[in-house]
């Protein structure tokens, strides 16, 4: 910059009729270009241009869907005789044992990010747990409202979560928090025919089948996974599947096949 200032000052002190020769003019132009380029480089080093972040994938999640078919649905347990009713048992609702649970094992790493405190409900109506199969994420609090006209006593001896809520009357509700993954069998101490299952997962990639055995697991990152199908009456089965970018995969199970 000092050299450029000196050149400009020298030029201003020369007689007006004198002029720089061609060589001096080329030197001035070269110096100006050099300082302009240097200035731009300095600005760029302070405010670098935006660039893609390493390790961030632009792949869109996909879906696993299908149907679980049961070869044989187990029959309901028969209730004990009601002594107050002359040896006849009261009627009770049918237990839906067709429900299966489909889930990923293992699940994607991002699936373990749980930021809320979810709640679920397992009703007691017509001396039946509704739903018979409940799938939840670890950390969920489950309500057990008594919608019957009789007392209930909900309990479990399962290792992932054992509890005993004691007897409580119609219209009341008690709750349990489930923090450990696993299968929890639920019973009523008063009514031996009442039972249910709570499947606790450490991720959110699971689904309970509907009335027709259909299921759907959304927002699955692209990749290859092991998909498990569980039902209380049959051994758990699995299949391998690859989920494409923003794609849907059909995956069907037949449980209890011979």
Give yes or no: residues 7 and 114 share one domain: no
pLDDT at 59: 81
The string over 25-56, giving b where at least 16 C-beta atoms fall within 10 Å of a residue's C-beta and e elsewhere, is eeeeeeeeeeeeeeeeeeeeeeeeeeeeeeee
Q: Which three-class secondary structure state does DSSP give residue 202?
A: coil
Q: Which domain holds residue 28?
A: 1-14+21-38
Structural domain count of the chain = 2
pLDDT in the model for residue 8:
41
Q: Based on the domain organization, do 96 and 161 belong to the same domain? A: yes
- Residue 74's pLDDT is 67
**Residue 51: inside a domain, yes or no?**
no
pLDDT of 4 reads 41
Q: Do the domain assignments include residue 241? A: yes
Assigned domain for 53 exists: no
Co-location of 202 and 81 in the same domain: yes
For the full predicted model, state whether its pTM sits above 0.85: no
| CB contact at 8 A, 254 and 72 | no
Q: Does residue 48 form part of some domain?
A: no
2-13 vs 22-46: helix axis angle to the nearest 10? 150
Per-residue pLDDT of the chain (258 residues; tens, 9 = 90+): 444 444 444 444 444 444 445 555 564 444 544 444 444 333 233 333 333 323 334 689 999 999 999 987 766 655 555 544 444 344 455 567 889 999 999 998 765 565 677 999 999 999 999 999 999 999 999 999 999 999 999 999 999 999 999 999 999 999 999 999 999 999 999 999 999 999 999 999 999 999 999 999 999 999 999 999 999 999 999 999 999 999 999 999 999 866
Query: What is the pLDDT, as a whole number, of residue 33?
Result: 46
Instruction: Provide the CA 257 distance to its chain's centre, in angstroms.
Output: 30
Residue 193: per-residue pLDDT = 92
The C-alpha atoms of residue 137 and residue 158 are separated, in whole angstroms, by: 17
Domain CATH number, residue 244? 2.60.40.420
């Amino acid at each position: 910059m000092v050299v450029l200032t000196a050149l400009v000052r020298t030029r201003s002190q020369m007689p007006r009729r004198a002029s720089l020769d061609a060589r001096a003019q080329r030197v001035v132009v070269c110096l100006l270009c050099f300082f302009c380029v240097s200035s731009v480089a300095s600005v760029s080093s302070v405010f670098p241009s935006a660039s893609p972040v390493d390790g961030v994938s632009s792949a869109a999640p996909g879906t696993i869907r299908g149907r679980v078919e049961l070869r044989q649905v187990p029959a309901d347990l028969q209730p004990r005789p009601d002594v107050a009713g002359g040896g006849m048992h009261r009627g009770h609702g049918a237990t839906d044992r067709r429900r299966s649970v489909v889930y990923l094992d293992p699940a994607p790493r991002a699936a373990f990010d749980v930021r809320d405190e979810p709640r679920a409900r397992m009703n007691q109506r017509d001396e039946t747990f509704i739903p018979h199969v409940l799938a939840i994420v670890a950390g969920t609090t489950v309500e057990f409202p008594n919608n019957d006209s009789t007392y209930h006593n909900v309990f479990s001896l399962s290792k992932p979560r054992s509890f005993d809520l004691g007897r409580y009357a119609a219209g009341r509700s008690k709750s349990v928090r489930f923090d450990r993954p696993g299968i929890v069998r639920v019973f009523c101490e008063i009514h031996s025919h009442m039972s249910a299952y709570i499947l606790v997962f450490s991720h959110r990639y699971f689904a309970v089948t509907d009335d027709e055995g259909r299921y759907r697991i959304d927002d699955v990152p692209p990749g290859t996974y092991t998909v498990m199908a569980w039902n209380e009456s049959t051994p758990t089965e699995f299949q391998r599947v690859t989920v494409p970018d923003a794609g849907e995969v059909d995956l069907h199970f037949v449980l209890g096949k011979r």
